[in-house]
Amino acid sequence: MAHLKTFLKSSVGRKFLVGLTGLGLSGFVLTHMAGNMLMFVGPEAYNTYGHKLTSTPLIYLAEAGLLAMFVVHMGLALKLALENKQARGTGPSQNASNCEKNARFGSRYMALTGILVLAFIVLHLISFKYGTYYSVNYQGVEMRDLHRLVVEKFKSPLYSGWYLFSMIVLFVHLAHGFSAAFQSLGFFSVRNCLIKKIGWAFALLVAGGFFIQPIYGYFYGGN
């Protein structure tokens, strides 16, 4: 137990947890994106999927797990980022920015992109989960017409534009985060080209999948 405490308090242990929760959240965004793809099948498939998800009691367990992962991931990552800022040396330097330049693009902006993703999630929950409740009836089953709400939102260029921007931010966050998580867990090194490529592919898949939805909703949603 004492060793576990040492591990969890150490910088490396906390990075481990950030990586682990990051991978958990990556799994969530992947399934979320895949589920949303039902939008292309039609309103009935989309709404039935949403209805099935929310009508099982397991959803509360899943939501609690997600929330816990978010809290751990953000809390520890922010603390680590603040420590990192403090560790930098003081004194004016003509070349201090070189350290920044040497680092991969995504890795330099993890805190910023993370905060932007958080802002997106909060507004996203407000507009959909806690948004207008339209109802629809399929074969006698009353359920929420989320499809209508989604299409309505995506019809706004401002909303869609902000959504698209957020997906680019998510891409940058995942492109570094996914492969770096494996390094933090000690599985692979980020030097490993394969894991880097998988990280990019994963980020492209998730962000790209979400990306086409508002475009589709904006141009073809109503029909």
Partner 1 sequence: MKLNLKIWRQNGPSAPGNFVDYHVDHVSPDMSFLEMLDVLNVSLVNKKETPIEFDHDCREGICGSCSLMINGNAHGPETGTATCQLHMRRFKEGDTIVIEPWRAKAFPVIKDLSTDRTAFDRIMAAGGFVSVNTGNAPEANSILVGHDTAESAMDSAACIGCGACVASCKNSSAMLFVSAKVSHLAQLPQGHPERAKRVRGMVTQMDQEGFGNCSNTGACEAACPKEITLENIAQLNREIVRAVFKD
The site string for partner 1 over 1-20 (x = CB under 8 A, - otherwise) reads: --xx-xx--xxxxxxx----
DSSP secondary structure code for residue 129 in this structure: I
The site string for partner 1 over 87-126 (x = CB under 8 A, - otherwise) reads: xxxxxxxxxxxxxxxxxx--xx-x----------------
Based on the number of CB atoms within 10 Å of its own CB, is 83 exposed (0-12), middle (13-18) or buried (19 or more)?
A: exposed
- Please, are residues 203 and 136 in contact by the beta-carbon 8 Å criterion? no
Residue 113: name the closest of 154, 50, 25, 172 by CA.
Answer: 172
- Please, are residues 198 and 183 in contact by the beta-carbon 8 Å criterion? no
Token pair belonging to 13: 């242990």
Which residue from 176, 207, 210, 213 is in contact with partner 1, where contact means CB under 8 A? Answer: 176
- Contacts with partner 1 by CB under 8 A: the residue count is 48
For residue 203, the minimal CB distance to partner 1 (Å) is 15
Token pair belonging to 21: 């929760």
Q: Say how many Å lie between the first and final Cα of the chain, rounded.
A: 60
- Which of 162, 188 has the CB closer to partner 1? 188
- Which of 148, 173 has the CB closer to partner 1? 173
Tell whether residue 51 is a contact of partner 1 (CB under 8 A): no
Integer angstrom CA distances of residue 74 from 14, 71, 77, 82, 221 = 11, 5, 5, 12, 34
Token pair belonging to 134: 């339209």
For residue 101, the minimal CB distance to partner 1 (Å) is 8
For residue 1, the minimal CB distance to partner 1 (Å) is 10
Tell whether residue 33 is a contact of partner 1 (CB under 8 A): no
Tell whether residue 83 is a contact of partner 1 (CB under 8 A): yes
Which residue from 186, 197, 201, 219 is in contact with partner 1, where contact means CB under 8 A? Answer: 186
- Which of 108, 124 has the CB closer to partner 1? 108
Residue type at position 66:
L
Residue with tokens 């029909």: 223
Q: Applying CB under 8 A, which residues contact partner 1? A: 3-4, 6-7, 10-16, 80, 83-84, 86-104, 107-108, 110, 176, 179-180, 183-191
